């Protein structure tokens, strides 16, 4: 596997009208834009090039575990060159150079750039065909400019590290607005991969509003259901709590129907199949397993997509044991497993008035619904 490093260029003064600070440190849905941009690259080492005097801003935004910032130069291309020089001591195979002002870059775009490099391209960059009619004013006339062959360049722009470093060194004095331009001067062939409208460069106040809307993403809800049969025993596990009872529950794991239903609900929110696919009952690893592990796994899958669980609600259906005395402990345990505030976790109980298998006390059942927020640039949101 080729080693890929990410270089984020955040050296611009980029001051927004009426605001004091550089735009890359301005909040977007509660987090500095730069933090959002760095978080878009969770699987690669990231270095950030910052502007003069921005070190305190950088450390304040990024926290104590931030990678050491690289001091940039007066122009963008100077900052990129200094960034590449900083990586040259331990050179990666590929480098992706990305603007801090594009926090909405999707995993799909990143994957396309890397795939093109892996397939042998000297460089690869996302490009968007121009859809609007283009005009140029000549005197009193508007001349239509043919848009065929015109593209809007986005980032990340990816290159073989040694090639782009040499290109920047050789052309350090010339003006260039991005790295495709520098690559062009060096005769490197850059392949276009599809960009995305949502990968906008946040520049104006309107862009901030649009980016916040996109980052707010979408919410999804899904349900889960499970049932287990009573067997001999002296306790049952329900919603992660050991409840004394005159029977146990039959199952391959600890038979916690509440957590199983909730795990399926969370998997459903990200269309990730069901609990049986992830933890087959034929697999001895899950024999007598505590079910919080299943829930934790589903939660990890949501986090991998950049998502967060907003709320969950479990209904336990049984005549016995009585759920009421354990309800608070169950909510607390689920909240603990999912790192949620307890007011985002609901546990309810009902009987079936003596009807059906739960009424006959042959077993118990559980239903759950979960609500998850996913970023609009997650693979799950249809851009993968």
- Give the footprint of Mg ion on this chain (CB under 5 A): 226, 260
Q: Are strands 70-71 and 46-50 parallel, antiparallel or unpaired?
A: parallel
Which C-beta is closer to Mg ion: that of 260 or that of 305? Answer: 260
**CA 304/CA 66 separation, integer angstroms:** 20
Q: Which residue lies nearest Mg ion, judged by its C-beta? A: 260
Task: Return the ∠ at Cα 23 (arms to 130 and 63), rounded to 5°.
Answer: 125
Q: Within a 10 A sphere around the Cβ of 112, how many other Cβ atoms?
A: 21
CB of 95 to Mg ion, least distance (A): 47
User: Least CB distance from residue 295 to Mg ion, whole Å?
Assistant: 12
Least Å from the CB of residue 252 to Mg ion = 8
- Minimum distance from CB of 72 to Mg ion (Å)? 55
Nearest residue (CB) to Mg ion, 47 versus 260: 260
Please name the residue ranges forming H helices in 242-316.
257-269, 275-278, 292-304
**Least Cβ distance, residue 280 to Mg ion (angstroms):** 12
Q: Which is nearer to Mg ion, 71 or 289 (CB)?
A: 289
By C-beta, is 118 or 296 nearer to Mg ion?
296
Q: Are 369 and 94 in contact (CB under 8 A)?
A: no
CB of 266 to Mg ion, least distance (A): 14
Can you tell me the distance from the alpha carbon of 196 to that of 194, in angstroms, rounded to the nearest whole number?
7
> Which alpha helices (H) appear in 63-187, and where do they start and end?
76-87, 107-118, 161-170, 179-185
Whichever of 136 and 285 has its CB closer to Mg ion, that residue is 285
Tokens of 15: 């001051």
The total of other beta-carbon atoms located within 10 Å of residue 147's CB is: 13
Taking the least distance from each CB to Mg ion, the nearer of 178 and 264 is 264
- At closest approach, how far in Å is the CB of 320 from Mg ion? 19
- Tokens in use for 186? 């060096």
Closer to Mg ion by Cβ: residue 127 or 368: 368
Q: Minimum Å distance from CB 275 to Mg ion?
A: 7
Give the separation between CA 307 and CA 301, rounded to whole angstroms.
9
Provide the 3-class DSSP secondary structure of residue 361: coil
Q: What is the distance between the alpha carbons of residues 60 and 83, in angstroms, rounded to a whole number?
A: 21
366 and 260 in contact (C-beta within 8 Å)? yes
By C-beta, is 4 or 291 nearer to Mg ion?
Answer: 291
Task: Please give the Cα distance from 373 to 270 (Å, whole number).
Answer: 10
CB of 281 to Mg ion, least distance (A): 9
Identify whether the C-beta of residue 88 lies closer than 8 Å to the C-beta of residue 187. Answer: no
For residue 358, what is the DSSP state?
A: H
Residue 344 C-beta: closest distance to Mg ion, Å: 23
Give the burial class of 341: count Cβ atoms within 10 A of its Cβ; 0-12 exposed, 13-18 middle, 19 or more buried: exposed
Q: What share of the chain is helix, strand, coil (3-state, %, to 5)?
A: 35, 30, 40
Q: How far is CA 313 from CA 147, 221, 254, in A?
A: 53, 11, 20
Nearer to Mg ion among residue 202 and residue 366 (C-beta): 366
């Amino acid at each position: 596997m080729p080693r890929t490093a990410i270089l984020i260029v955040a050296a611009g003064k980029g001051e927004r009208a009426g605001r004091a600070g550089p735009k890359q440190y301005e909040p977007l849905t509660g987090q500095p834009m730069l933090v959002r941009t760095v978080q878009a690259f969770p699987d690669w080492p990231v270095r950030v090039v910052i502007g003069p005097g921005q070190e305190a801003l950088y450390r304040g935004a990024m926290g104590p575990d931030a990678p050491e910032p690289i001091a940039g130069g007066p122009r963008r291309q100077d900052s990129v060159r200094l960034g590449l020089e900083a990586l040259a001591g331990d050179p990666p195979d590929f480098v992706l150079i990305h603007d801090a002002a594009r926090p909405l870059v999707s995993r799909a775009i990143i994957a396309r750039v890397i795939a093109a490099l892996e397939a042998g391209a000297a460089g690869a960059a996302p490009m968007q065909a121009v859809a609007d009619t283009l005009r140029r004013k000549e005197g009193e006339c508007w001349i239509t400019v043919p848009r065929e062959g015109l593209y809007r360049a986005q980032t990340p722009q990816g290159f073989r590290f040694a090639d782009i470093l040499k290109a920047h060194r050789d052309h350090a004095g010339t003006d260039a607005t991005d790295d495709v331009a520098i690559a062009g001067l060096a005769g490197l062939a850059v392949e276009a991969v599809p960009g995305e409208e949502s990968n906008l460069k946040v520049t104006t106040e309107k862009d901030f509003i649009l980016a916040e809307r996109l980052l707010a993403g979408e919410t999804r809800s899904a349900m889960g259901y499970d049932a287990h049969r009573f067997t001999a025993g002296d306790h049952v596990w329900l919603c992660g709590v050991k409840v004394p009872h005159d029977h146990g529950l039959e199952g391959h794991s600890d038979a916690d129907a509440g957590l199983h239903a909730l795990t399926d609900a969370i998997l459903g929110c990200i269309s990730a199949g069901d609990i049986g696919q992830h933890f087959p009952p034929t697999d001895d690893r899950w024999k007598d397993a505590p079910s919080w592990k299943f829930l934790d796994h589903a939660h990890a899958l949501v986090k991998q997509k950049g998502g967060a669980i907003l709320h969950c609600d479990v209904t336990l259906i049984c005549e016995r044991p009585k759920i009421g005395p354990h309800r608070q402990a169950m909510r607390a345990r689920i909240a603990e497993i999912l790192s949620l505030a307890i007011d985002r976790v609901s546990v309810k109980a009902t009987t079936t008035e003596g009807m059906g298998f739960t009424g006959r006390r042959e077993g118990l059942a559980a239903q759950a619904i979960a609500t998850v927020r996913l970023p609009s640039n997650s693979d799950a949101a249809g851009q993968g």
